Amino acid sequence: MTSEIKDLSDQILNEIKQAKNILLHCHVYPDADSICSVLAMAGILKQMGKTVTPIMGDSQYPDYLTSLPHKDWLVEKNYTEINPEDYDLFIILDSASIDRISNLTDIKFPTTMRTVVIDHHQTNRMFGDINLVDKSRASTCENLFRLFQNWRVKIDQDTALLLFLGTYSDTGGFKYPYTSPETFEVATKLVKISPQYHTILADIENHRKPIDLEMMGVALSNIEKYCNERIALSVIPYEIIKQKGLSREEASEGLVPDVLRTVTEWKIVASIVEMSPDEVQVSLRTRYENDYDVSEIAKAVGDKGGGHRGAAGTTINVPLVKAKRELLKTICEIYPEFK
């Protein structure tokens, strides 16, 4: 832990000690790192004797994480359904920008509420009163482990399991480039505390429903190639979503960017789902992170974009045809070799 991170860690602990009511949240379309970091932080705050409210946020709880301990702590509300003035501290986890808190409203923090951002994304916009953004870490859960160690709090079996699962998920099972030797050291310490992680990990990785495979099939049947087949897009139009009567969460199963990334000839890939006639969800990937940074593409096109060099996402609020055109134009502007 660097001296700067150590200082921020101490500042955050001081904010927690002074706070009476603490708010946590899951980001829009939460992944395992988001939910596990929220539940792990909630457990530590409860251990400290704090009153904490972790809200689910805009999205439904994902089915594949039903085996997580303490998931019942999550309150099924989004930011528009709470009164921010009821809280004097908001700990914002795994969110690179303020709009990751909610897409339903323009987020405004009351002057009476302090905000702490804890994250690891390269594109974090440092929007909190205190911003602990350690970009060298592979996950927010890995960041939290370091914090909890510095605070000298007890990491029990459930907390260790949550931190391990969040780290495992955000590293793609320890495959992604940001996985460091320190990541493995953290994982080793966590599984020593919670050695019975195998069962829940199997539940998480084998959670598919029939509609999930059906949507993957649709996505893989609608691949478009551009720029001498160096860019590949998987495209699902809104007509298919509407025809099948899918929820937003079910529609998201059509996002298959990690499958697209396995093709060596495709330099930049994107999975695209038209959620509504004027909302296109884009998930970008590249296996060639030394040459391309898809987070720059995500930030430059659409709204609320960001992520990592090899994996990023954005939302483009225009019809599908125009969204594809804007995405391809942006890629070519950033990387002229594709023109």
Cα–Cα distance for residue pair 56/146, rounded to 1 Å: 25
Q: Quick one: CA dihedral 136, 139, 142, 143, positive or negative?
A: positive
Pick from 53-67, 108-122, 242-256: least confident: 242-256
pLDDT value at 254 more than 80: no
Residues 6+ apart with CB under 8 A from 238: 274, 275, 276, 277, 320
Is the predicted pLDDT of residue 203 greater than 90, yes or no?
no
What gap in Å lies between CA 63 and CA 54, rounded to an integer?
18
Q: Are 253 and 243 in contact (CB under 8 A)?
A: no
Does residue 18 have a pLDDT over 90? yes
The predicted pLDDT at position 127 comes to 97
49-71 residue pLDDT tens: 999 999 999 999 998 899 999 99
Tell me, what's the pLDDT at 178? 87
State the pLDDT at residue 39.
Answer: 98
pLDDT score at 252: 82
Per-domain boundaries in the chain: 3-205, 211-338
- pLDDT tens digits, residue range 262-271? 999 999 999 9
Q: Which of 28-32, 112-116, 205-209 has the lowest mean pLDDT?
A: 205-209
CATH 3.40.1260.10 fits 3-205, yes or no: no
Q: What is the pLDDT of residue 65?
A: 93
Residue 248: the pLDDT is 80
Does this model's pTM top 0.85? My answer is: yes
CB atoms within 10 A of CB 100: 28
Spatial contact of 9 and 150, defined as CB atoms under 8 Å apart: yes
Instruction: Report the distance separating Cα 268 and Cα 286, nearest Å.
Output: 5
Q: Give the domain 211-338 fold.
A: Diaminopimelate Epimerase; Chain A, domain 1 (3.10.310)
pLDDT of residue 100: 93
Q: Exposed/middle/buried for 298, CB within 10 Å: 0-12, 13-18, 19+?
A: buried
What is the Rg, in whole angstroms, of the alpha carbon atoms belonging to the chain? 20
Q: What is the mean pLDDT of residues 199-222?
A: 89
Using the predicted structure, report yes or no on whether residue 253 has a pLDDT greater than 80: no
Residue listed under structure tokens 């350690």: 134
pLDDT per position as a tens digit, 75-97: 999 999 999 999 999 999 999 99
Q: What is the dihedral of CA 248, 267, 229, 274, to 10 degrees?
A: 10
Average the pLDDT over 178-201 and give the result: 94
Average pLDDT of the chain to the nearest whole number: 94
pLDDT per residue as tens digits for the range 267-321: 999 999 999 999 999 999 999 999 999 999 999 998 778 888 999 999 999 999 9
